[in-house]
Amino acid sequence: MKKLLLFLLCAVVTLSGCSTFNEETVKKTIEQEINSFYDNLLMEDIDAVMKQISTDSEQYYDLYDQYRDTFQKYNYSYQLKEISYDDVSKDVVVASVSLTVSGVNQSQEYGSYNVIQTFTFKSVSNNKWKITAIDDKYDF
């Protein structure tokens, strides 16, 4: 009987250890997603950008129109400065990104501004995250 209880206890501990939430792994995954997002913006690949955004997002179609217009009117580059995490859980991650956006418009006029964008990611499967919201907060 003791061996059976010991076996069950070991099994429970082992299984609970497999299902634990690893915050550092999630942060690395989110950082890769954010870097990929800005790389896709830089390459003006609207399909790749929109694949990272959840179709359930209320902003999905507005973001599609916004990025399409940006790609037509501007040639921007994105320089990430810092990524900070406001909330990290197994279901939702909120990350703030500080970056400099610079480039030229169709008239070849140069412009540059600093922005803080807040991303909300939602877990869609094991180690797969989709953007559900992007909010801009301009840094002066």
Query: What's the pTM value of the predicted model, to 2 decimals?
Result: 0.81
Tell me the per-residue pLDDT of 43-85, one tens digit each, with 9 for 90 and over.
999 999 999 999 989 999 999 999 999 999 999 999 999 999 9
Q: How far apart are CA 123 and CA 130, in angstroms?
A: 7
**pLDDT of 9 strictly over 80:** no
Q: What percentage of the chain carries pLDDT values higher than 90?
A: 75
The three-point CA angle 37-38-42 to 5° equals: 120
Domains, the chain, in order of start with CATH, read 22-139 (3.10.450.50)
Task: Please choose, from the candidates 37, 6, 22, the residue with its C-alpha nearest in 3D space to the C-alpha of residue 126.
Answer: 22
